[in-house]
Structure 1
């Protein structure tokens, strides 16, 4: 086995021991050899090592709803309030003139970032929900640095950099290349503004190796390992963020913000948002079905990969609070739209561009071509089907498209590591 493959394997074993292995990283493990001991399962390792024994709590105006319904979780799980929740629900019945139903709504997670001292809303999006649990655990462990993976324009890496900075932690982003866009430029400059340490490697395997080396080097220099947050925040701890979000939605339905939806449309990337929502909706007693819109050509983004994540997350939460039901899921529970990812991750399709224009022109809301544009493209396609007649549909906006030009105009891209210059010196795709 080559040194590269051994280093990748050691890194993956380290991630798995911390309960932090993403789907992509698990896939790589199968490529370098199955040397993981079989005696102890992934969930056993996660349960034993992932949480601080003494939880840290810093609440905002209200506690997360999941702690109200399952109070024993509060005794085990750390939490730091980061976002402005509940995120509002807006009716978007004018988005699709050919829609078979007028009952179309949007959950505005783009507005869940708090206001800063200048009255500008901090970057929001779906990752804020996961980071409230990750960064709470990092603070409980007295961590000073967090490290995560992503692509060059990763919204997850950006959110990690922003909110780590807001709670006094440093962020390290281990990235790989993607198709260039204005959002890639924006996210890199914002990460730099919030003090993130940025690295880029040519592909997933080299990124794993680079992450492993950075992890060890940090220990040598600072005497401690950085707190690791998996790709996309996808693991049982991160998925708690969207289990909690489902109970937030339940309370909004009860107070009349919208009827109970028949369908919720979300993007399917690392699958954590989908997994958390599916578990949370079922635990909350809602009959809503999640339609997960695949945004990547990665073959692992499928029903067979999603099922183990659902089961692992349910088992993890039940182990912390036995009153949480041992929910069961089968292939019949999964609705994944496979026809909208186009040429792959980060490459906007013509349908996505049309959806982005429709949302911008009708409601003044900016989407991206990687996740939200493709999701709304699927939504617009499905709304025209006869079987959608008079159904209640919710699009969960996971992308924050607010204008941050006042921030990024303060810095030059030459302040970034030189490996990122290409995103500013080469052309970008239409968006």
Structure 2
């Protein structure tokens, strides 16, 4: 370990990590889960920034020159994000203004605390309806591109360099496991959002010679954290380790899906039970991350997949102290959400009712006309729905190329593959409302039959109706723009220059297996 410590000594840090966090046995919880032994890695006991594993990544990330010398930091997350609260706490400690960009999710007690703290100490708070709205209205924040207001903290504080903080955490755990009494641990469980913590831990454990899997329980939808992203993060962490003069070893990272429930930040019964179990031990038992991760461990224990697990407590300590008047610092919509944050039940399906109701009204005013469209349907959308996407793109993006316009419907269709059935119902209602509800706007015409200028006018008039009309106009706009920003020809509009490293030049673990140019199999040698 001494050689490892010397190598990592060259990594600049803020000094937020003064020593290892405890690894403690939890025999009562082990009995409840039906495992032989259970150890808890208590990152909630970090003294700095109110604790939590985010401290490990921020310790490295915020020590980089770009962040040290920035006039302000910009951070994005859910409305009750622990990461946003941690960055705001770091900004408060380092006398750096922090601009928070928050998208709406349900609020529980723990996340409401985060929101109150963020509102108290952030220099500004900007609200968004959901993750898509954030991506469309503030793409530079999502892509962590430079902004006039400051430097952007990447989503989850995850960057190739910041993951070194989690590699060190994996090595720290390895040392504790080697000194622990009792049966050896057989797996490490933790919640996984952006993926940087899990990837770094897996690389660190392997580097220290601990051959057990890190089982990352996914708490976000697959679309926002696909398997490919997690393995890319592993390769990036390994590359950073190589830059320190060390040789990484093959690591074991396993993804556990199926515990997100209705959606991100919406608790499940199993997550609420897990959170309650942790509360009995004096640990902040929030159900969005920690509870769902413990539910994943419980499912594996019931299936006989683990007998001696380690559970990594990534959450911060309770007890954040907001300033008086913090509600007045929030945008009105978030303030209303905070006032009603006593319940952790999923929000009512108002959006679906609005869309379906408006579509039904359109059917009553004018007959549903869904024939006569050319071309095949997609994986999710029918041929007429693909035609609506193309027509909307032609109206909303007047400078789009013909090739870009042709590709737009397919991009929306592929994006919708990641949607659960309940959300797809809403999307189908949305397209029906756009195509058929023109009697409310410009007369009895299909949306796709209008000229691009009249389509734009129709959307403006639908939006002017307010309520469901505004929802419909914004939703079709957001879908079209989200698909458009995937196209390379759109990147100059948002200041994105494309991938910094070409696919051909990315390092791969398989490079060492390639035969030199000109070599032939022995069976074919002369």
TM-score scaled by length of structure 1 = 0.72
Distance change (3 Å), C-alpha of 1:211 and 1:258: farther
Contact residue 67 and residue 73 of structure 2 kept, 8 A: no
Distance change (3 Å), C-alpha of 1:275 and 1:426: same
**Matching of residues 58-207 of structure 1 within 5 Å:** 69=4, 71-75=6-10, 77-114=11-48, 122-138=49-65, 141-207=68-134
Shift of 1:417: 2.9
- Give CA-to-partner distance per residue, 1:64-103, whole Å, 9 cap, x none: x8x961534443x321112453111121121143544331
- 1:349 pairs with 2:268: yes
- 1:398 pairs with 2:314: yes
- 1:272 pairs with 2:196: yes
Contact residue 359 and residue 365 of structure 1 kept, 8 A: yes
Q: Which residue of 2 aligns with 1:31?
A: none
Larger-Rg structure: 2
Q: Secondary structure at the match of 1:368?
A: coil
> Which segment drifts farther, 267-276 or 178-187?
178-187
Q: Which residue of 1 aligns with 2:298?
A: 380
Structure 2 unmatched ranges of 5 or more: 346-526
Shift of 1:140: 6.9
- Give CA-to-partner distance per residue, 1:112-157, whole Å, 9 cap, x none: 133xxxxxxx421110000000111147742231112211111111
Q: Which residue of 2 aligns with 1:261?
A: 185
Q: Distance in 2 between matches of 1:176 and 1:386?
A: 38
Q: Distance in 2 between matches of 1:155 and 1:316?
A: 26
Distance change (3 Å), C-alpha of 1:426 and 1:245: same
**Matching of residues 258-337 of structure 1 within 5 Å:** 260-318=184-242, 320-321=243-244, 323-328=245-250, 333-337=252-256
Q: Distance in 2 between matches of 1:380 and 1:102?
A: 13
- Give CA-to-partner distance per residue, 1:351-399, whole Å, 9 cap, x none: 11111122223x12221111001011122232334453xx321100011
- Give CA-to-partner distance per residue, 1:298-320, whole Å, 9 cap, x none: 334343331122112212332x2
Q: Distance in 2 between matches of 1:266 and 1:133?
A: 21
Q: Secondary structure at the match of 2:73?
A: strand
Shift of 1:108: 0.7
TM-score scaled by length of structure 2 = 0.60
Distance change (3 Å), C-alpha of 1:277 and 1:91: same
Q: Distance in 1 between matches of 2:7 and 2:41?
A: 28
Contact residue 296 and residue 341 of structure 1 kept, 8 A: yes
Q: Distance in 2 between matches of 1:396 and 1:164?
A: 26
Q: Which residue of 1 aligns with 2:480?
A: none
Q: Distance in 2 between matches of 1:132 and 1:309?
A: 18
Q: Distance in 2 between matches of 1:387 and 1:296?
A: 23
Q: Which residue of 2 aligns with 1:9?
A: none
Q: Which residue of 2 aligns with 1:413?
A: 327
Q: Distance in 2 between matches of 1:341 and 1:174?
A: 23
Q: Distance in 2 between matches of 1:267 and 1:91?
A: 19
Distance change (3 Å), C-alpha of 1:334 and 1:255: closer
Contact residue 119 and residue 326 of structure 2 kept, 8 A: no
- 1:231 pairs with 2:155: yes
Q: Distance in 2 between matches of 1:196 and 1:396?
A: 32
Bigger share in helix: 2
- Given candidates 270, 278, 282, the residue that maps to 1:359 is 278
Contact residue 348 and residue 369 of structure 1 kept, 8 A: yes
Q: Which residue of 2 aligns with 1:249?
A: 173
Distance change (3 Å), C-alpha of 1:267 and 1:192: same
> Which segment drifts farther, 157-166 or 188-197?
188-197
Q: Distance in 2 between matches of 1:213 and 1:339?
A: 31
What is the alpha-carbon root mean square deviation over aligned residues? 2.7
